[in-house]
Chain A
Amino acid sequence: MSLRRLLIALTSFVLLAAPAFALQPPKGQSEFVPVNEVPAADQLPAAPLLIVAYAFVWAATLVYVWSIWRRMNKVEDDMRALAQKMPHR
C-alpha cells in the first residue's frame, strides 16, 4: 500500500513539476551572432514604398503625356513642312 502511495506521490510530483519547468523563461543568450543585414521587417519602412508607388503613377502618367505631346508636335511640324512644299509643285 505504501508503495502505491509512493508511486502516486511521485507521479503527481512529475505531473505538477512538468508545467513548472515548461513555464521557465528561455535561457539567456549565451553569445551574440553578428549579421550584416537586419531582418526585412525591421529594415523596410513602409512609408517610402507608399510614396514611391504614388510618385511612380504620376511619373508614368507625365512621361506618357509628354510622349504624346512630342509625337503630336512632330506630326504638326511634318504637316506644316509638307503644306509649304505643296504650292511649289
Chain B
Amino acid sequence: MRKVFGPLAAFTGLMFVASPFVVARAPFESSMGIVSKIFYFHVPSWFAMFTAIAICGAASLIHLFRTSPRADRIAEAAGEIAVVFGLMGLVTGPMWGRKAWGVWWIWDAKLTIALLLEMTFISGVLVRKYGGPGSDKLAAAVGIFGLAVTPFVYEAVNIWRTIHPLTSVVPTLPATMAVPFWYCVTAYMLLLAVLLMLRVNLGKRQAALDELYLAYED
C-alpha cells in the first residue's frame, strides 16, 4: 500500500494543478457564462462525497453486525472525508448560485437536504469524538442512516420542484464539456482514495497506541 501511495498522491496533485487549464478550455454554458465553470469543482465534490458515504455506510454495516475494528476504521475515515467533500460542495455551490440565481442560498428541497446530509456526517464525527464507550456503534448507525438518505439528496431535483439544475445535465453534456467534467471527477476520486489511505493509516496507528497503553497499564 505504501508503494502505491506516493505515486498516487503525486499523480492526484498533478491532476489538480492541471485542472484549471483543462476547465479553461471547456466552453461556457450559454445562460450562465463563466461562473458555470464552478460546475467542474462543485459536482465532482458531491460525487466524491457520495462515494465516501457509500464506503462509510458499507463499512458501518459490517462493523455494526460483525464488530470489525478494521471496518470501523474505514467507516470513521470515510465519514470524516465525506464531511470534507460535503463542505466543498456546500461552499462552491452558493458561489455559483449567487451569480446564477442572484442569491447565495435558498431553502429549497435540494439544498436543504444536502445541508442535512452534511450535518448528519458532522454528527457522526462528533459522536466518535465525544460519545465515549460504544460511540463506534452509534457512529456506525449514523453512517448507515446517512447512506439511506443519500439517494434522496441525489434525486431531490427530480422528486421536488427546485431551482437547482436537474440530474439530466450530466448525462447530456456535450463532449467538449463532458471530457473536462470527467477529468475533474477522476481527480476527485483519486483525492478521495489518497485521503482515505492517509486517514485509515492514522486510525491504525491510533489503534496501535491504544493497545500499547493497555499493555503498559497491564
Contact = CB atoms under 8 A, between A and B. Distances in A.
A65 interface: yes
Interface in B201-216: 201-202, 205-206, 208-209, 212-213, 215-216
A83 B213 CA distance: 10
Size range of the chain A interface in the assembly: 20 to 34
A-side interface mostly: helix
B45 interface: yes
Interface residues of B, number: 36
A37 B92 CA distance: 24
Interface in B178-203: 191, 195, 198-199, 201-202
A44 B101 CA distance: 12
B37 A50 contact: yes
A43 to B, nearest CB: 11
A12 interface: no
A54 B24 CA distance: 12
Interface of B: 16, 19-20, 33-35, 37-38, 41-42, 45, 81, 84, 87-88, 91-92, 95-96, 98-99, 102, 191, 195, 198-199, 201-202, 205-206, 208-209, 212-213, 215-216
